[in-house]
Structure 1
Amino acid sequence: MQGFSWISHTLKWGMLLPSVLFVTSVYAESAFAPTPVATFSSPVSYQVYNILAAEIYLRQENPGQAALHYIAVAQQSKDASLAQRAAELATMANDFQLISRALDLWTELDPESLEARQYRALSHVQVGRYEAAVRDFVIISDQMKKKDGGGFELMIALLEVQRDPRHAYATLKYYVDTVDQSARAQLALAGMAHSSDHFEEAITAAQLAKKSGTLAQKEQASRIIAEALMSLQQTDKALDELGPVARASKDWDLKLSYGRMLILTDRRSEATPLYEQLYTKKPENADIIYTLGLLHLEQKQFDVAEPLIKKLQGMPERADDASYFLGQIYEGKQRIKEAIAAYKQALNGAFAIEASRRISVLLLDTEGLAAARTWIHEHLPTVNNEVHKARLLLVEGKMLHEQKQYAEAVKVLTQALTENPLEADALYHRALSAERIGNFTDAEKDLREVLSLEPSNPGVLNALGYMLLINTERYAEAEGLIRKAIVLAPDDAPIMDSMGWILFRTGKAEEAEAWLRKAYKHLPDPEIASHLAEVLLALGKTDEAKSLLKDMLAKFPDDPLLTKLKDKLVGL
């Protein structure tokens, strides 16, 4: 072998990574045999020829042929490092047959090599040869026990990096079924079953681990069972499983898992005292501070939440998010200038869009539309994200619509759509403003564009149906859209109102009355009230119509629909 060491040492060999082993056979062995040469003057010349030929094939991007040459020279020289090189090249060729042949040779030439066995075990895993994989893993474990232990842990670590978790789980299950039924193995199997969505199997394995495991293993088994039950939507059982264990445990990470579970199941009142305990134990843990602060914020306990969020604000990785929530606290305490200042500190974080929206709204409420618009246009040049720009312009457009500046709203919302043409909310609100200035054709076009993006949006279906109802005589089309909307949102009062109004317009006053009464019960607003009063008048229920109108005018004296109806009732 010394005769060609100068060649092998000049080759730059890469490492064979488990994650790149692949199962598809691309090259058939018979198609890629090394080119035969009649005679060689010596074993060294044979070795030199094959190595040089292999490297030439590699430069020609033919790693399969190169691998076969390295296999040939490794067999002749009994050099395990050349078999390793062959395995690397076979991996590059995505040829499992070559990978298997090279790894078998590598293992044969160096039976004590843990590296060779690891790679061979992983190659077996990736093609579903679980029994063969387990045989190699057992040998690896035995060898490591003689050295420093850790064979089982190594097997788990290698399986966890596999691209296909199903193969990893099936291999470990075969190992547990045939080799090791200990609590440690059952617990590992339960965890891998859960991560590969085998939730029932995870529960079964974890329950077995609970029977014979240590206290720590039993606690972790309960955690896995609870998480699997959560995945199966059995939330009460999950909490019943983990709750007693977490409360009795000294493992604060286990308590934290239970706290997260309480939040996910909307049992925040129970989560709050638990997170207070966790905070006492780990007062510098950012995740605990964050969650506890938000729990108090959500319950409007602003004075308790404020010092927690301020503490979080001092942690660089959480500062932006904390500034946003501090803004919410100040809003809740009616400290508007401080809220605006806090929101401005959040403009580079994950809540940047919502922070900019809150600044705009607060400026509108306290200083007027002009101040809000000025801030928006001063801030826009600093925004690099197109979605953020579109959302900021959307806020401005909605403000203009609410202030009845419909033409200007259309202009601003068109600018928003220039930034992000697929911003459905901008299309929707531009349609509303366009319809108010009499441009029904463009309004209909925008709403149909929104429906192409969100075909099952009940609000948009209703908006288009109602626009058709009041702007055209396409009643059948309008009714079809509204009926689709009511199926999707049967308790939505504005959609009930549209349903009642289309029925009234098509001569079905009694059916209309039932829908409008239901809508008014859900939402007693002026528009629904005016529709209901119109129908009551048509049905001869004049006194009830007058009484309804009187009550609503007392609450909304300037509403144009109610005022118009009042004029109609004069003399009745």
Structure 2
Amino acid sequence: MQRFSWTHQTLKWVFMVSSMLFGTVVCAESTPASTAVATFSSPISYQVYNILAAEIYVRQANPGQAALHYIAVAQQAKDASLAQRAAELATMADDAQLVSRALELWAEIDPNSLEARQYRALSHVQAGRYEAAVKDFVVIRDQMKKKDGGGFELMVSLLEIQRDAQHAYGTLKHYVDTVDQSAPAQLALAEMANGSDHFDEAISAAQVAKKSGTKPQKEQASRLIAEALMGLKQPNKALDEFGPVAHASKDWDLKLSYGRMLILTDRRSEATPLYQQLYAKQPENVDILYTLGLLHLEQKQFNVAEPLIKKLQEVPERANDASYFLGQIHEGQKRTKDAITAYKQAARGTFAMESARRLTALLFATEGLAPARAWIHEYLPTVSNEVHKARLLVMEGKLLHEQKQYAEAEKVFAQALTVNPLDADALYNRALSTERLGRFADAEKDLRDVMSLQPDNASVLNALGYMLMTNTERYTEAESLIRKAIVLAPDDAPVMDSMGWILFRTGKAEEAEAWLRKAYEHLPDPEIAGHLVEVLLARGKADDAKRLLKDTLAKFPDDPLLTKLKDKLVGL
């Protein structure tokens, strides 16, 4: 709303009385409407009293009482600016009834005020009074149309900024149903219907516009129908509707909308040539440049993606993000040193943690554990986010665990939990390390703590079930946990492996074989292969066991479990 301003005469009286009264405590009545004008020596004294009382309530952070005083004086003085001030304060008080009362008074005093009509219309919208809102909007539309021809557009823009999308949509629908069935109105209704998830209504409105509108309006109608079909989970129909229109159109914004839709439906190979056209037309459009670079990167077209991403690096607000993608490009090109340099730059941006993870893995793979740990400790002091600090320490702990330095790994995971006590990843990985150290009870406690944080985490359920099976004879409890995990992750190979192994441990070798074969089909892992070999041997299928062992050893010649099984099979 505009800033409130008093009339000259009223302001003169306020200043005069303020000079006499301020410095002492002035008390205002809380119910000004009940105060009779006759108790004051003149209308001006009544006005001054209420204005001063209202402003004192404002200072006391009581806008509702202040609004009541302004309503009282506005009624007596027939002053629109006082009614406007009342409406402002009622809005601050978040009192819908008081807002409505002030706005009605404002419109009554100044029926030609567009501003009063606007705020009253919006008040009706918020209360769901669609018919009353439309009546005000029609007056606003007609008056604005005489001024600059933009009355309908103003109405739509006012509805678009409303907090309650459903009420905004309901108002516009009432307007279209009762006042205006033109193509522009139908398009506006379809746009708002999509925004409030009324997809069938959006299609109906857009189809009306598609029949009666101009060529550009028909194109927009096709876009809105496609967006509604996307909302209804019918992507193929959406693209069939929109594709021919977008390709034939000369509207580049329309083509861009279609390109985004192709990406959303994972049809990136079709989106790429379209974005190349868009980039040729708008080479300075950063969003198009960004998307085109990622499209080439995702399709592993590294040499094409690289110059685009380097250009993106020149945009200050996108430089760090571009460095992250450049790191991925260099990884794909086997340019490890360049990738490390790029990830170090990206570690200061939006993709900081992902960059840190990739950088740590590259350093570990190419230079070893010490340089990877050194970088983490160099980077840690620059990180202010406690969750991110904990994640970095978990990265370090995983590297130590991988190198079988379980005691040192445990210390690092404990440090991560000092930073963030609810870090489930740190608890989970510490459990894996403490189990390897032979401290099963500590490991079980950590896993149960993770389960309390993430009761539907299949990996944690599986880990605890497997741990119980291999470290205790609590097979019934272990099987229960593994069965819960298999329900949550039916295609997860490690969970299937655990299911097969617990069935074997409990004397159900035939069922165990079926589960382990299924697990091995999903993931030809040496541990799964080892379990399957043992089950095959137990079932008298020595030839199958030898064949599987030989094939797996060819891929994993140094695996200790497979080596033990090889020795076991020598005499068979």
Q: Percent identity?
A: 79
Given that 1:34 and 1:68 are in contact with CA atoms closer than 8 Å, whether structure 2 keeps it comes out as: no
| Per-residue Cα deviation, 1:360-416 (whole angstroms, up to 9, x for no partner) | 111111111111111211221222222222222222111111111111111112212
Asked if 1:183 is matched to 2:189, the reply is no
Aligned to 2:518: 518
Aligned to 2:100: 100
Structure 2: distance between partners of 1:32 and 1:199: 50
Given that 1:34 and 1:69 are in contact with CA atoms closer than 8 Å, whether structure 2 keeps it comes out as: no
Relative to structure 1, is the Cα distance of residues 52 and 372 closer, same or farther in structure 2, using a 3 angstrom cutoff? closer
Alignment: residue pair count: 555
Displacement of 1:497 in angstroms is 1.4
Given that 1:327 and 1:343 are in contact with CA atoms closer than 8 Å, whether structure 2 keeps it comes out as: yes
Structure 1 range deviating more: 420-429 or 392-401: 420-429
Asked if 1:346 is matched to 2:346, the reply is yes
Report the AA paired with residue 266 of structure 2.
D
Relative to structure 1, is the Cα distance of residues 141 and 567 closer, same or farther in structure 2, using a 3 angstrom cutoff? same
Aligned to 1:416: 416
Displacement of 1:91 in angstroms is 2.6
Displacement of 1:90 in angstroms is 2.8
Within 5 Å, give how 1:487-502 maps onto structure 2: 487-502=487-502
Given that 1:434 and 1:440 are in contact with CA atoms closer than 8 Å, whether structure 2 keeps it comes out as: yes
| Per-residue Cα deviation, 1:112-141 (whole angstroms, up to 9, x for no partner) | 111111111111111111111111111112
Report the AA paired with residue 292 of structure 2.
L
Displacement of 1:545 in angstroms is 2.4
Aligned to 2:160: 160
Report the AA paired with residue 459 of structure 1.
S
Displacement of 1:97 in angstroms is 3.2
In the alignment, structure 1 segments of 5+ residues that lack a partner are 13-29
Structure 1 range deviating more: 269-278 or 413-422: 413-422
Displacement of 1:147 in angstroms is 1.9
Asked if 1:128 is matched to 2:128, the reply is yes
Relative to structure 1, is the Cα distance of residues 474 and 86 closer, same or farther in structure 2, using a 3 angstrom cutoff? same
Relative to structure 1, is the Cα distance of residues 214 and 407 closer, same or farther in structure 2, using a 3 angstrom cutoff? same
Report the AA paired with residue 493 of structure 2.
A
| Per-residue Cα deviation, 1:424-475 (whole angstroms, up to 9, x for no partner) | 2222222111111111111111211222222222222111111110000000
Displacement of 1:99 in angstroms is 2.4
Given that 2:37 and 2:46 are in contact with CA atoms closer than 8 Å, whether structure 1 keeps it comes out as: no
Asked if 1:6 is matched to 2:22, the reply is no
Report the AA paired with residue 12 of structure 2.
W
Report the AA paired with residue 359 of structure 1.
L
Aligned to 2:192: 192
SS at match of 2:413: helix
Report the AA paired with residue 271 of structure 1.
A
| Per-residue Cα deviation, 1:22-41 (whole angstroms, up to 9, x for no partner) | xxxxxxxx976333465333
| Per-residue Cα deviation, 1:477-500 (whole angstroms, up to 9, x for no partner) | 000111111122222222121111
Given that 1:312 and 1:318 are in contact with CA atoms closer than 8 Å, whether structure 2 keeps it comes out as: yes
Aligned to 2:149: 149
| Per-residue Cα deviation, 1:185-217 (whole angstroms, up to 9, x for no partner) | 111111111111111111111111111112222
Report the AA paired with residue 491 of structure 2.
D
Given that 2:186 and 2:205 are in contact with CA atoms closer than 8 Å, whether structure 1 keeps it comes out as: yes
Displacement of 1:57 in angstroms is 4.3
Displacement of 1:8 in angstroms is 5.9
Structure 1 range deviating more: 41-50 or 510-519: 41-50
Displacement of 1:151 in angstroms is 1.2
Relative to structure 1, is the Cα distance of residues 4 and 32 closer, same or farther in structure 2, using a 3 angstrom cutoff? closer
Relative to structure 1, is the Cα distance of residues 52 and 497 closer, same or farther in structure 2, using a 3 angstrom cutoff? closer
| Per-residue Cα deviation, 1:58-114 (whole angstroms, up to 9, x for no partner) | 445544443333333323322221222222233333333332232222212212111
SS at match of 2:34: coil
Asked if 1:370 is matched to 2:370, the reply is yes
Displacement of 1:248 in angstroms is 0.7
Relative to structure 1, is the Cα distance of residues 373 and 38 closer, same or farther in structure 2, using a 3 angstrom cutoff? same
Relative to structure 1, is the Cα distance of residues 364 and 109 closer, same or farther in structure 2, using a 3 angstrom cutoff? same
Aligned to 1:26: none
Aligned to 1:426: 426
Q: With CA pairs under 8 Å and 6+ residues apart, which has the higher RCO, 1 or 2?
A: 1
Aligned to 2:210: 210
Aligned to 2:436: 436
| Per-residue Cα deviation, 1:127-174 (whole angstroms, up to 9, x for no partner) | 111111111111112222222221111111111111111111111111
Structure 1 range deviating more: 140-149 or 474-483: 140-149
Structure 1 range deviating more: 520-529 or 137-146: 520-529
Within 5 Å, give how 1:121-520 maps onto structure 2: 121-520=121-520
Displacement of 1:303 in angstroms is 0.9
Relative to structure 1, is the Cα distance of residues 542 and 367 closer, same or farther in structure 2, using a 3 angstrom cutoff? same
Structure 2: distance between partners of 1:226 and 1:390: 44
Aligned to 2:547: 547
Structure 1 range deviating more: 171-180 or 491-500: 491-500
Structure 2: distance between partners of 1:9 and 1:245: 66
How well do the aligned residues superpose, as a CA RMSD in angstroms? 2.1
* TM-score, normalised with respect to structure 1: 0.92
Given that 2:468 and 2:475 are in contact with CA atoms closer than 8 Å, whether structure 1 keeps it comes out as: yes
Structure 1: distance between partners of 2:433 and 2:173: 62
Structure 2: distance between partners of 1:475 and 1:42: 93
Displacement of 1:331 in angstroms is 1.0
Structure 1 range deviating more: 103-112 or 238-247: 103-112
Structure 1 range deviating more: 488-497 or 48-57: 48-57
Given that 2:130 and 2:170 are in contact with CA atoms closer than 8 Å, whether structure 1 keeps it comes out as: yes
Relative to structure 1, is the Cα distance of residues 402 and 178 closer, same or farther in structure 2, using a 3 angstrom cutoff? same
Structure 2: distance between partners of 1:10 and 1:279: 67
Relative to structure 1, is the Cα distance of residues 95 and 556 closer, same or farther in structure 2, using a 3 angstrom cutoff? closer
Given that 1:289 and 1:312 are in contact with CA atoms closer than 8 Å, whether structure 2 keeps it comes out as: yes
Structure 2: distance between partners of 1:266 and 1:367: 37
Structure 1: distance between partners of 2:15 and 2:96: 27
Structure 2: distance between partners of 1:492 and 1:64: 60
Structure 1 range deviating more: 414-423 or 236-245: 414-423
SS at match of 1:349: coil
In the alignment, structure 2 segments of 5+ residues that lack a partner are 1-6, 19-29
Given that 1:296 and 1:302 are in contact with CA atoms closer than 8 Å, whether structure 2 keeps it comes out as: yes
Relative to structure 1, is the Cα distance of residues 231 and 452 closer, same or farther in structure 2, using a 3 angstrom cutoff? same
Structure 1: distance between partners of 2:17 and 2:104: 22
Structure 2: distance between partners of 1:469 and 1:233: 44
SS at match of 1:456: coil
Structure 2: distance between partners of 1:52 and 1:212: 58
Report the AA paired with residue 91 of structure 2.
T
